Chain A
């Protein structure tokens, strides 16, 4: 399963260097194929309207523009990257230990996770 590279490149605005590195690492390593399938499978469950509704509870902190001030921008990031990050928060792995995000991610079903990732990946960070 391939990462939709064209799309990812289009929407990578605002993505941190670290995020980009991880993202590239992920797409080139053959051993992550099953993980890729998992991400794609999660994204296939996305419901755009539900994603928009759920995102309402995220944008209280994650503003689309302005200085990040300790809360990273997530609008316009690649959907696969967002799924991966939320899964890491869910299990509190890969250094994703912020208790606010861990608490949020652990309640998200795969449909919710996919819907949120899809929604934010389609947002323009300069809105």
Chain B
């Protein structure tokens, strides 16, 4: 297989002859083929389940330090009081017991791509024939002076769900009525484009009922954002006078934070916050960079027909860490990409049929009780990148019963995607 490895990746894909010689040894070998997966989120967990249920001849190992996974999706609803943290926390038990996935609760600290092994924190190695990398995001604390992992305990980003989200909720509960909550959304590209704005709705929902004299100041790193008209409509109709959104062109964005004094610093102004939700710029999870899979921007380029890494034909990158072009970094996208990757991996390892890449995303946002909006699209593998096939978005001024139905759909989706991820 060395001659194939040395070839340029594009050439390999273009040639069906080469593709079948690649698959052939897999089918003939007696030992089970090995798939290793780094990260047990929507990307990694889904890939594990689909490859495991797709073939008994592939041994699937899922590397994930956490024993329980708390979804970022619906974590804003927890802040708004619509969900408990428990109800958005899931176990890997079924993946192991029912699908035979080998769960390894450890951190991948390095990848030896030449030797096809993943190095774990405890020092063991996991060999693979194919590798899926789905580590989510890394916070780029260095983009805001004074911000750090330590400062994030006082000024939580809550952009990775769990302790951070619980901290933000406790701070909202502890603050005095009449305080200022600063929310600082990140620059593009970032995890969940509508996420900060749904969060603003959910924080406002909590404050309106519990601390109605409080205000939310949004110090955005951008001048426009996802579902903007829908969110601004909701802010005006449900939370009138509570939310002030300041785009980058007005403030210059957040330049520094002082966690000790709870100060948020812009070009010419400083705000003292009761609660500061500072969401910094992001990049692919650090292991992607260590494995040499990232571009200059810190994300992983992929082949749009398979999610195969552009730098290594044995590696697939899915979810937030990948450059999925038109697709937003969402749990829905990660789950969708995992199924395209699983199909390609099974084709590589078992010789099964590879189908054309088709992706989907829908992002629901809850803006108030019984008031939901959504945006979505279908996608396909294009010449150089993932392209939109067609898309839709909720409209402003929709009837209340339609909005209530959309809010209810989100609950159905949550149940569906978590079942699809964890079995």
Residues of A within 8 A of B (CB): 49-50, 53-54, 56-57, 59-64, 66-71, 99-100, 102-104, 106-107
| Contact, CB under 8 Å: A60 / B417 | yes
Smallest distance from the beta carbon of A103 to chain B beta carbons, Å? Answer: 5
Instruction: Please state if A57 and B416 are interface contacts (CB–CB under 8 Å).
Output: no
Would you give 16 A-B contacts (Cβ < 8 Å), ordered by A? A49-B352, A49-B353, A53-B343, A54-B358, A57-B360, A60-B335, A60-B336, A60-B413, A61-B417, A63-B412, A66-B415, A99-B376, A100-B409, A102-B392, A103-B377, A107-B378
Q: A70 contacts which chain B residues (CB < 8 A)?
A: 405-406, 408-412
User: Is B394 a contact partner of A59 (Cβ separation < 8 A)?
Assistant: no
Kindly state the separation between the CA atoms of A50 and B358 in the bound complex, as whole angstroms: 11
Q: Is chain B's interface secondary structure helix, strand, loop, or mixed overall? A: helix
CB atoms of A69 and B336 under 8 A apart: no
* Cβ–Cβ contact B378 & A104, under 8 A: yes
A41 and B335 CA atoms in complex are apart in Å by 32
Q: 1/0 per position for B361-389, CB-CB distance to A under 8 A?
A: 01000000000001011100000000001
Residues of B within 8 A of A56 (CB): 50, 339, 342
Closest to A71 in B: B412
With both beta carbons as reference points, the residue of chain A lying nearest to B380 in the complex is identified as A107
* Beta-carbon contact of A103 and B413 below 8 Å: no
Q: How many residues of B contact A (CB 8 A)?
A: 37
Query: Is B390's beta carbon under 8 Å from chain A?
Result: yes
What residues on A are CB-neighbors of B50 within 8 Å? 56
By beta carbon, the residue of chain A nearest B346 is: A53
A69 partner residues in chain B, CB cutoff 8 A: 408-409, 411-412, 415
Q: Which partner residue on chain A sits nearest B393 by CB separation?
A: A99
Cα distance A59–B420 in the bound complex, in angstroms = 7
Chain B neighbourhood of A100, CB < 8 A? 362, 374, 376, 392, 409
| Min C-beta distance of A57 to chain B, whole Å | 5
Instruction: Tell me the complex Cα distance, A59–B338, Å.
Output: 13
A60→B420 contact, CB < 8 A = yes
Chain A neighbourhood of B377, CB < 8 A: 103
CA distance A54 to B343 in the complex (A): 11
CB distance from A95 to the nearest CB of B (A): 13
Contact B416 A59 (CB under 8 A): yes
Interface-centre pick from A61, A66, A106 (highest chain B CB count, 10 A): A61
What would 4 more interface pairs be, CB under 8 Å, given A50-B355, A70-B409?
Answer: A63-B416, A66-B415, A70-B410, A100-B376
Determine the chain A residues whose CB is within 8 A of the CB of B393 once the complex forms.
99
Q: Counting CB contacts under 8 A, is B128 at the interface?
A: no
B359 at interface (Cβ–Cβ under 8 A)? yes
Question: Known contacts being A68-B412, A70-B408, A71-B416, is A104 close to B360, with CB within 8 Å?
Answer: yes
Chain B residue nearest to A65 in the complex (CB)? B419
